Structure 1
Amino acid sequence: MHKPIKTQLILLITTLTMEMNIMSFLSLFIFLIFSIVTVSCDTPLSPSYYDQGCPEALPTIKRVVEEAIANERRMGASLLRLHFHDCFVNGCDASILLDQTSTIDSEKNAAANLNSARGFEVIDKIKFEVDKVCHRPVVSCADILTVAARDSVVALGGPSWDVKLGRRDSTTASQAAADANIPSPFMDLPALIKNFENQGLDEEDLVVLSGAHTLGSAQCRTFRARIYTQTNIDPAFAHHLQTICPQVGGDMKLAPLDPTPNSFDNRYFTNLMSKKGLLRSDQALFTGGETNEIVEEYNENQNKFSMDFIKSMIKMGNIKPLTGEKGQIRKDCKKVN
């Protein structure tokens, strides 16, 4: 082979190799850039999310929750319920906290929340105190709801767990979605199972999260039909409730959801096995259907109920959170920035 031709071939091979290396480098660079963008836009939730930015956030939430429950024991159940009703409507994004405006279709006006959901002033107090110790609005209202639910359970004798954090707040709300997605106290078992399945929750989640009714009370309007028309109810229990809840009027009168409404225990499940579930949706869990065995298990083993409650609360808290650049950190939980 002539020397000039050999030299040209070497130069050509060298050039091609360099171009391929450059292309490989560019491909890798572009891949890394897209990976970084993807991570930043979809940041995973983490219990340590505020450890560096505001380490005093969680102790502050705990303090305000404990003060509110010390002032009124029922408030613990109310704060826990706010978190449930938030997560079941387009995810855990604090949409339930937004007031009605010309552009906000407030979930506070949904059938399950109107003249029923409460504790909003406690959330506002927590937000004020947290922003003060953090020196700026760094903790989302969605995370405040989630942590306040956990702290309420603990304050009333229930288990504790590490709450995954990093949710951001929605800029919209939907009364229609709340009416469609929040479980009704009038649902039967198939409807309840379907409702929870729509949120990515299974039958065990349904039973264990319904066990949150170990805390709190319900309004007469939610159980009137059960105590006057249903047959799968203990007669003495129904008669007692009829003294509280008349057939006409008294819609807002309260009855406890289990015999110890201010203590986290497994008495709720004992009630179901005795046909003393307050709501139709409560007793539906123990009527010979596929959830009977789960109810029996939690009635016999409070520790298992507590451990499974933790798992299901974490699972529910992961329903469609806004993370990364999605949503916002509201300055006022009642309105968008």
Structure 2
Amino acid sequence: MASRPTLAKVALTAGVSKTTASYVLNGQKKMSAETTRRVKEAARRLGYRLDSSASGLSRGRSQVIGVLAVESVTELVVGANSLFWLRFNDAFIRGCSDEGLVVSFAGERRAQELIDSGIDALLVLGNHATEVFEELRVPFGLPIISLDPIPRHDNVQLSYDNDAIAAAVAGHLRDEGCTHLHWLSVKGSERVFGPLHTSLERWAAANDLEFSTSTHDSTPEGIQRAIDAALEAGVDGVFSALGIPRLVTEAITNRGKSIPGDVLLVMQAEGLVEQSMTPSISTMSYRSFDCGKAVADMCVGVVRDGSHPAEIPLEFELIVRESSLRTV
């Protein structure tokens, strides 16, 4: 049986001192980009792993999952997709707590302090500029769990099958008589919803469905302008992401159009509010509670045996209600 790769072996392979290799792999000191690249490349090639859980136990500390949130908690819990994060956090924190893990939150300004405290994994909530991660000293092998890929780090990607979502939503709307599908999203959400936009456009092209897109600034006026332009172009089906349901429906009815008679509507949302509206709104849900539980389960695996996947596939759910059903 081959012996476990040592820090000394990594240093020798990278052509640096053992101290330098330790600085790079433990994130204790920022080294040059070239030195960091050589050390991490050697560590990956040799299969070297930091035994963070064992060192944590030897220090007598609890095993901790760090959470990097947006700087303002208010921004996270009252934003356009707030219900997703509230339900996600509920399942995530409960799942970690049930297994004896501690969950520690911090904003961007305290991100390095959080990492230096000796966490076993880092979960990224909300949207953060890539520059935030470029400045961080991150221990080698520390799993960073996020919806967006993070370059040069051991990133665990939370992923949804956007092609399947596009086929489910666009296919349903087409079956209900939609001939021109419009993708409506919030300005600045391209990084999050870009892959879904691409999948929708590709599906529409392959199935002879006219497709258009627009963005808005979340204000009533901005949503109205986007809807006005879409309806003038002949749109008869709308798939909306991160919009306030009432503002979207009002923008459509303000133009004298009915839902679903004139315009079919599906919203990306958790559905708790939408199901009680009149008409009830069809939703594509990212199943936030299940998502939170899946991430908690992965974190438990990290601290128990040090293993983690490169990707966590997540489920979605299309719930068809009155807003996308036409009576024949």
The reply to whether TM is greater than 0.5 is: no
Q: Which has the higher contact order (CA 8 A, sep 6+)?
A: 1
TM-score, length-normalised on structure 2? 0.27
More helix as a share of residues: 1
TM-score, length-normalised on structure 1? 0.27
